[in-house]
C-alpha cells in the first residue's frame, strides 16, 4: 500500500492510498478504496475521453449485475464442483448490489473504449470478485475464473445490452407513453363540442372538432406503443452461451438455456436463449429495429408538440385557439412574454433521438466477421433515447397537457371567418361557383353568404338552410 500526494492549483494537498494489482501485462497501482482491479485501471488510463460526462450507462451496469447473478446460479447447477455454494452465494450478493446501484462509484469507465465493451465486462468482474471476497472475509473469487465463468465479453455485453434495453423500454418508456395517452383521452372527452377550423398545407381547411384533432394525436401515440411493443420482442433472445465467437467454447452444455431461464425469472420478462449465437454476437439488427420504433415515436411527438405550440401561438397575434400553462417567464427583455417551453423541449428531444437513430444504424452496420465492435456507442445512444423520451413525455404530460384548455370563443371566431366553409355549398352550387363565391368574399372582405347571394347562386333563405359549419365534421 502506498500514498500519493496531489497538489492542486489552490495548493491543497490531497492524499490517496493505492494498492498493487496485477494482470497479464504486469502490475499496476489501483485506488485502495475502489473494488476495481488492474484491467479497469488500465482502461481508465488509456481512455481519457469524455471522463465524467460519458461514462457507461447505469442501465448497462445494472444489467450486468442481473447477468452475473444468473450466470453464477446456472453454473452452480451445471458445474457445482467449480461454482461452489459459497462462491455462488457471495457472487449473487455482490451482483444484487450492482443491480441496485449501490456500487455506482466503482464503475468509472467511459463509453469510448474497446468496441466489444470488454473493459466494462472486466470492470464488473473485478468489482464483483473483490466485493464477494470482502463479503466472504477471504479471497474465494477470481474475476475471470469465477465471476466470468462460462462467459466472454463477446456474449456478455450483447446480453447486457438486450437486458438493459428491454427493461428500460418496459419500465420507463411505456409507462410514460401510456400516461400521455390517458391524458389525450381525457382531453378528447372534454372537447367533443369544441368545433374549429381545420388546416392543411398551413392554410384554412374544412372544420373538425378539437376532439377529432386530439384523437389523431392519441391514435398516433397508440400506434407507436403498438410498434414499440412488437419490436421489443426481438430483444428477448440472448447471446449468452455463445462465448467468444458463438461456438460456446468453455461453457457447459445447457448453460445458454439455464442462464436465460434465470434472467427471465430475475427480470420478469420472457427472455430466451438466441438460437443462432453467431448472429447474436455479430448482428445488432434488433437494436436498430427497436430504435426505429423509438424514432417513430419521436417523429409523432415532434408533430404533436408543433401542433400544440402553433395552436397556442399569440396570445393576440397568433392562432390562440388553445391555452397552455404558463410555467416560467419567456424573455429577458420583453415583460410578460411566456413561451411554449414544454413543446420546445419535446422537439429538441425528438431531434436528438433522430440523430441517435443514425448513430445506432451506422454502428449496427459495423459487424466484422464474428463480432460487432460498436457495442458501447449503440448502448449509449439507445439508452439515451429511451431516457430522454421517457422524461420528456412525463414532463409534457405534467407541465403542459394536463393544463391544456380550448379557447372556444377564438375557435368559433376563426371557424366563421374561414373561406373554406364554402366547401359545404359544393353540392348546391357546384365547385366552380363555390370558387367564385370564396374569391369574391375574400376580395371584398364580405361574408360567404353575402358573396353567394350577390352572385345570385342562392337566396338568403336557401343559404341559411344549407349552410351549417357545425354539421360539417361528421361523426364526432
Per-residue pLDDT of 111-136, as tens digits, reads 999 999 999 999 999 999 999 999 99
* Domain hosting residue 435, numbered range: 418-473
Is there a contact between 242 and 279 (Cβ–Cβ < 8 Å)? no
Cell numbers placing 223: 400506434
Q: Which residue has the cell 414544454?
A: 342
**Is 199 part of any domain?**
no
- For residue 72, CA distances in Å to 106, 129, 266, 279 come to 21, 12, 13, 25
Residues 66 and 39 in one domain: yes
Residues 399 and 422 in one domain: no
Residues 390 and 338 in one domain: yes
CATH number at residue 216: 1.20.200.10
**Is 249 part of any domain?**
no
CATH number at residue 68: 1.10.275.10
**Is 426 part of any domain?**
yes
Find the catalytic residue in 331, 365, 454, 459: 331
Residues 89 and 174 in one domain: no
Residues 282 and 326 in one domain: yes
Residues 84-115 have pLDDT tens digits of: 999 999 999 999 999 999 999 999 999 999 99
What is the per-residue pLDDT for 15? Answer: 62
Nearest-angstrom CA–CA distance, 358 and 145: 38
The number of CA neighbours under 13 Å toward the Cβ of 79 is 17
Neighbours of 55 (CB within 10 A): 18
**Is 63 part of any domain?**
yes
Find the catalytic residue in 116, 150, 162, 201: 201
Is 331 a known active-site residue?
yes
What is the per-residue pLDDT for 470? Answer: 86
**Is 22 part of any domain?**
yes
CATH number at residue 438: 1.10.40.30
What is the per-residue pLDDT for 10? Answer: 44
Domain boundary among 80, 115, 149: 149
The answer for residues whose C-beta is within 8 angstroms of residue 43's C-beta and 6 or more apart is 109, 113, 119, 122, 123
What is the per-residue pLDDT for 382? Answer: 98
Nearest-angstrom CA–CA distance, 215 and 402: 16
Residues 53 and 184 in one domain: no
**Is 260 part of any domain?**
no
Task: Give the torsion sign (CA, 191, 196, 200, 206).
Answer: positive
Residues 387 and 440 in one domain: no
Nearest-angstrom CA–CA distance, 73 and 92: 8
Domain boundary among 407, 430, 456: 407
What is the per-residue pLDDT for 476? Answer: 56
Question: What predicted TM-score, i.e. pTM, was given to this entire model?
Answer: 0.93
Nearest-angstrom CA–CA distance, 300 and 216: 10
Residues 231 and 300 in one domain: yes
Residues 284 and 316 in one domain: yes
Q: How many domains does the chain have?
A: 3
Residues 77 and 135 in one domain: yes
Residue-level pLDDT, tens digit, the chain, 476 residues: 555 555 444 444 346 799 999 999 999 999 999 999 999 999 999 999 999 899 999 999 999 999 999 999 999 999 999 999 999 999 999 999 999 999 999 999 999 999 999 999 999 999 999 999 999 999 999 999 999 999 999 999 999 999 999 999 999 999 999 999 999 999 999 999 999 999 999 999 999 999 999 999 999 999 999 999 999 999 999 999 999 999 999 999 999 999 999 999 999 999 999 999 999 999 999 999 999 999 999 999 999 999 999 999 999 999 999 999 999 998 899 999 999 999 999 999 999 999 999 999 999 999 899 999 999 999 999 999 999 999 999 999 999 999 999 999 999 999 999 999 999 999 999 999 999 999 999 999 999 999 999 999 999 999 999 999 888 998 65
Residues 316-327 have pLDDT tens digits of: 999 999 999 999
**Is 282 part of any domain?**
yes
What is the per-residue pLDDT for 4? Answer: 54
Residues 237 and 352 in one domain: yes
Is 433 a known active-site residue?
no
**Is 327 part of any domain?**
yes
Domain boundary among 376, 407, 438: 407
Nearest-angstrom CA–CA distance, 47 and 376: 13
Residues 355 and 389 in one domain: yes
HEC profile for the chain?
CEEEEEECCCCCEEEEEEEEEEECCEEEEEECCCCCCHHHHHHHHHCCCCCCCCECCHHHHHHHHHHHHHHHHHHHHHCCCCCCHHHHHHHHHHHHHHHCCCCHHHCCCECCCCCCCHHHHHHHHHHHHHHHHHHHCCCCCCHHHHHCCCCCHHHHHHHHHHHHHHHHHHHHHHHHHHHHHHHHHHHHHHCCCCEEEEEECCEEEEEEEHHHHHHHHHHHHHHHHHHHHHHHHHHHEECCCCCCCCCCCCCCCCHHHHHHHHHHHHHCCCCEECCCHHHHHHCCHHHHHHHHHHHHHHHHHHHHHHHHHHHCCCCCCCCCCEECCCCCCCCCCCCCCCCCHHHHHHHHHHHHHHHHHHHHHHHHCCEECCEECCHHHHHHHHHHHHHHHHHHHHHHHHHCHHHCEECHHHHHHHHHHCHHHHHHHHHHHCHHHHHHHHHHHHHHCCCHHHHHHHCCCCCHHHHHHHCCHHHHHCCC
Task: Give the torsion sign (CA, 204, 207, 211, 212).
Answer: negative
Residues of 16-38 as b/e, b for ≥16 C-beta within 10 angstroms? Answer: eebeebebeeeebebbeebbbbb
Angle at 58 between CA 55 and CA 64, to 5 degrees: 110
What is the per-residue pLDDT for 7? Answer: 45
Cell numbers placing 37: 482491479
Amino acid at each position: 500500500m502506498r500514498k500519493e500526494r496531489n497538489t492542486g492549483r489552490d495548493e491543497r494537498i490531497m492524499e490517496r492510498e493505492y494498492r498493487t494489482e496485477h494482470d497479464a501485462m504486469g502490475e499496476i497501482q489501483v485506488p485502495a478504496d475502489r473494488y476495481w482491479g488492474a484491467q479497469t485501471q488500465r482502461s481508465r488510463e488509456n481512455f481519457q475521453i469524455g471522463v465524467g460526462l460519458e461514462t457507461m450507462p447505469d442501465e448497462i451496469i445494472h444489467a450486468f449485475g442481473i447477468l452475473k447473478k444468473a450466470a453464477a446460479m446456472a453454473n452452480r447447477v451445471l458445474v457445482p464442483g467449480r461454482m461452489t455454494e459459497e462462491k455462488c452465494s457471495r457472487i449473487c450478493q455482490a451482483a444484487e448490489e450492482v443491480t441496485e446501484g449501490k456500487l455506482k462509484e466503482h464503475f468509472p469507465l467511459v463509453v469510448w473504449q474497446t468496441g466489444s465493451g470488454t473493459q466494462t465486462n472486466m470492470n464488473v468482474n473485478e468489482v464483483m470478485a473483490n466485493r464477494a471476497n470482502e463479503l466472504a472475509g477471504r479471497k474465494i473469487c477470481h474475476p475471470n475464473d469465477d465471476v466470468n465463468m462460462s462467459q466472454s465479453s463477446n456474449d456478455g455485453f450483447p446480453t447486457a445490452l438486450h437486458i438493459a434495453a428491454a427493461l428500460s423500454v418496459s419500465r420507463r418508456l411505456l409507462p410514460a407513453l401510456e400516461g400521455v395517452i390517458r391524458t389525450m383521452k381525457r382531453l378528447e372527452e372534454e372537447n367533443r363540442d369544441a368545433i374549429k377550423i381545420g388546416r392543411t398545407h398551413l392554410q384554412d381547411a374544412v372544420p373538425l372538432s378539437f376532439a377529432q384533432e386530439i384523437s389523431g394525436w392519441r391514435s398516433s401515440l397508440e400506434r407507436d406503443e403498438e410498434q414499440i411493443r412488437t419490436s421489443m420482442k426481438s430483444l428477448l433472445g440472448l447471446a449468452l452461451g455463445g462465448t467468444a465467437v458463438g461456438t460456446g467454447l468453455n461453457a457447459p452444455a445447457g448453460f445458454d438455456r439455464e442462464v436465460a431461464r434465470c434472467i427471465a425469472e430475475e427480470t420478469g420478462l420472457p427472455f430466451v436463449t438466441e438460437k443462432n449465437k453467431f448472429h447474436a454476437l455479430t448482428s445488432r439488427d434488433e437494436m436498430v429495429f427497436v430504435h426505429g420504433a423509438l424514432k417513430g415515436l419521436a417523429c409523432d411527438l415532434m408533430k404533436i408538440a408543433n401542433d400544440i405550440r402553433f395552436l397556442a401561438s399569440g396570445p393576440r397575434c397568433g392562432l390562440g385557439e388553445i391555452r397552455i400553462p404558463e410555467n416560467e417567464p419567456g424573455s429577458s427583455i420583453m415583460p410578460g412574454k411566456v413561451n411554449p417551453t414544454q413543446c420546445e423541449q419535446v422537439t429538441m428531444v425528438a431531434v436528438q433521438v433522430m440523430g441517435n437513430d443514425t448513430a445506432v444504424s451506422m454502428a449496427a452496420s459495423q459487424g466484422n466477421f464474428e463480432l460487432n465492435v460498436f457495442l458501447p456507442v449503440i448502448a449509449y445512444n439507445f439508452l439515451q433515447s429511451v431516457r430522454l423520451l421517457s422524461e420528456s413525455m412525463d414532463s409534457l404530460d405534467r407541465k403542459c397537457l394536463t393544463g391544456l384548455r380550448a379557447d372556444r370563443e377564438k375557435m368559433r371566431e376563426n371557424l366563421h371567418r374561414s373561406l373554406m366553409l364554402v366547401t359545404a355549398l359544393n353540392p348546391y352550387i357546384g365547385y366552380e361557383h363555390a370558387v367564385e363565391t370564396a374569391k369574391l368574399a375574400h376580395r371584398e372582405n364580405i361574408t360567404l353568404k353575402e358573396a353567394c347571394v350577390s352572385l345570385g347562386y342562392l337566396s338568403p333563405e336557401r343559404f341559411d338552410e344549407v349552410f351549417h359549419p357545425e354539421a360539417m365534421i361528421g361523426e364526432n
